[in-house]
Structures are given as structure tokens and as C-alpha cells.
Amino acid sequence: MTFQPIKFYQTGTFTVGNRLLDPSQRSVQSHRDRSNAINSGHRACQGCGEALGARYAVDAAMDATNSQLIAANATGCLEVFTTPYPESSWQLPWMHSLFGNAAAIGTGIAAALKAKGRSDVRVIAQGGDGGTTDIGFACLSGMFERNDDVLYICYDNEAYMNTGVQRSSATPPAARTATTMPVGPEPGNAFGQGKYVPAIAMAHNIPYVATASVAYLRDLEAKVKRAMEFRGARYIHIYVPCPLGWGTASHDTIRIARLAHETGLFPLFEAEYGELVSSLPIRKQQPVEEYLKPQRRFAHLFGAKPRADLIAKIQARADANILKYRQLQREEV
Ligand SMILES: Cc1ncc(C[n+]2csc(CCOP(=O)(O)OP(=O)(O)O)c2C)c(N)n1
Ligand code: SF4
């Protein structure tokens, strides 16, 4: 009988359980005593990337802080599916904020803890891409600029999902949303608009910035733990597919997230004090069509008259990301 050799990624940095690894190297989720920061019974859609990303991120932050953690949460899907009054899925002190002021609430909690001399208790603030890149942006930039001792986590599903899939400034070009219709010469969301908050966070020279993805949960956990080693303002931007808003199969969440990285459309990296310090390399670069085709929000690019011109523009964006964020080589300097 022949046996298949164990491939490196079954025990390497890309996997979650890692029961083949030494216990000291295993992931947070492989521990029996993990915190389960977001309990089962919440109301997220099947296959929700945001629920998965938040659970891993907050569990990792709990692990890193010996469960001495307080969270502020912007309104959005994550809040609504976890806290329908009078219920809550959260297993940590958790504070509701407005749509736009989660960063300011985090700052306030950190200031109160400082006044009380409680340096052992740490703070995270979190929100969707709308709450982060649009309405919450001023509070977030202020938090960065003052270097407040808060880790801000953005769960990026590339639109305002909670209110019915409206465009945000993180919605990618050509994507159909309820407010960017798939009609006209340039259907879907416009090219050349929007903003990339990880780069803007780096421009504030804060101690730590990272991008992460639910396709690489072990990498995500490691980045949250690394973030908690710093004091001051930190930012993690997590890619979280939304089956409802993107028109993808609920079982495809991880595949889509992996393709976002492997095409170069969502680069994965870390930066410290404004400088890139590591990148997660793409194993085999995929053409952007592989990523776009399974998503109904891009279906108009593949209709009776396929839009090769727009697909080429998206490919150019992916190629530029790969170069800029050094996605074809492992980089640790
Ligand atoms: C000032 C204000 N405007 C609008 C709303 C309604 N609202 C609540 S959540 C939300 C969208 C949230 O989108 P996002 O931050 O991207 O999070 P997601 O639901 O996609 O996770 C909106 C528009 C609000 N609560 N407050
Ligand atoms: S709409 Fe999207 S982000 Fe919201 S719960 Fe459903 S899958 Fe998750």
C-alpha cells in the first residue's frame, strides 16, 4: 500500500488545527480551553465570513490578554447577528457603539483604564468596512494620530451588508451592489474610487498594521497575537466574504477568500511603524477570472458580451498589488 506524503501545508503555517504540531505551536482554536468569545446560537447567515473572522480574531486577542479584554463594536452585521436584545453571543465585556464611533469608544475605554491604572486590561474596537472606511474614518484616524492604546479590527465584506448591500468605499471596481447597478458602459462600482485603509493606517506610522483573511486562519490568529504585543494604535483589516451580498455559495467562503489572495486582489502583509515587514506569499498566482466567476456580483462581466476590457483592468490592479506588497516572495526583514 502506498501512502501519500504529508504536504507541508498540513502542518505548516496555513492550517488551523495543527494537531500534528508541537502543542506550543498549535493554533488558539485547537485548544480545548479556547475562550469561545462568540458563542454558538448567533444569527449570522450560513457561511458568513465575518462570523468566522470575528470568532478567530477575538479568541486570539482573548488568548493573548489572558481574557483581560474589552470590545467596542460598531453597528453592522457583526453587532446585529450577535446581540439581538436581550440576547448576546459575546463572552467578554462588550460595548455597543454608534455606526461611526467605535474607534472613539475604544479610545475612551483605554483612557478610563489608564486613569484607573489598569494596564493589564486591553481594548479592541471593531466594525465592518462601512463603519471603518466611511462613517467611522475620522474617529479612526484620530485614534491612530493620538496613538491610543487600541487594536481596531475591520471586517471587510466590501459593502454595507446589514442594511441591504449598499456600496462602501471598500467595494471593488465593477462589483454590483444595491447602489451600483450592473448597467451602462462601466457597469457596477466605478474604477478609481474608494480607499485602501491599510495603506492609510501605515501612513499614520502606527506601531502595527496587518491584513488577514479567513482563508488563512492560523495567519490571522498570529497577526492578532502580534498586534497585542504592542502598545499604542494598531489596525488589522480582515477579508470576510459575504455569501448573501456577493452572491456566492455558502460553502465557498474559504475558496473565494483564498482566491482573493492568490489572484493578488487582497494582499496579505504586516507593517510596523509604517514599513512593510512581512508578506504571505502566493503559492500559485491565479487569473482574476477564477475569483470573479463564482460571484454573482460580477456576473455582468461574463454575460452575452463578456467585458474583457474591465477584467483586464481588474487583472492590472491585482498585478500591481503583487508587486507593491511583494506577494510572490516570503519577506521577513
Ligand atoms: C448614522 C447612521 N447611519 C446609518 C445607520 C444604519 N446602518 C446600520 S449598520 C449599516 C451598514 C453597516 O455596514 P458595514 O459597516 O460595512 O458592516 P456590515 O454590516 O457589512 O458588516 C448602516 C448603514 C446607522 N446605524 N447610523
Ligand atoms: S449578510 Fe453577509 S456579513 Fe451579514 S450575516 Fe449574512 S453573510 Fe454575514
Strands 275-279 and 331-332 turn out to be antiparallel
Band of pLDDT at residue 13, cut at 50, 70 and 90: very low
- Residue from 89, 17, 27 nearest 223 by CA: 27
User: Are the C-beta atoms of 14 and 268 separated by less than 8 Å?
Assistant: no
Cα 64 to middle of ligand 1, angstroms: 29
Omega into 86 within 30° of 0, i.e. cis?
yes
Task: Taking residues 2-29, report their average pLDDT.
Answer: 61
For residue 267, with 0-12 CB atoms within 10 Å meaning exposed, 13-18 middle and 19 or more buried, which class applies?
Answer: buried
What is the per-residue pLDDT across 177-214, written as a single tens digit (0 to 9) for each? 999 999 999 999 999 999 999 999 999 999 999 999 99
Segment 74-100 shows an average pLDDT of: 96
What is the enclosing helix (H) or strand (E) of 278?
A: strand 275-279
What's the predicted TM-score (pTM) here?
Answer: 0.95
The radius of gyration of the chain's CA atoms, rounded to the nearest angstrom, is 19
Distance from residue 234's CA to the centre of ligand 2 (Å): 25
Give the closest ligand to the alpha carbon of residue 48.
Answer: 2
**Residues contacting ligand 2 via CB (< 6 Å):** 44-45, 48, 50, 77, 81, 157, 161, 242-245
CA of 161 from ligand 2 middle (Å) equals 6
Going by CA atoms, what residue is nearest to atom 4 of ligand 2? 77
Range from 1-10, 37-46, 132-141 carrying the lowest mean pLDDT: 1-10
pLDDT digits (tens, 9 = 90+) for 145-168: 999 999 999 999 999 999 999 999
Starting from the CA of residue 44, give the closest ligand: 2
- Burial degree of 98 (CB within 10 A; 0-12, 13-18, 19+): middle
Rounded to the nearest whole angstrom, what is the distance from the C-alpha of residue 37 to the centroid of ligand 1? 23
Give, for ligand 1, the residue of 42, 135, 152, 162 to mutate: max count of ligand atoms closer than 8 Å to Cβ: 162
C-alpha cell at 190: 466605478
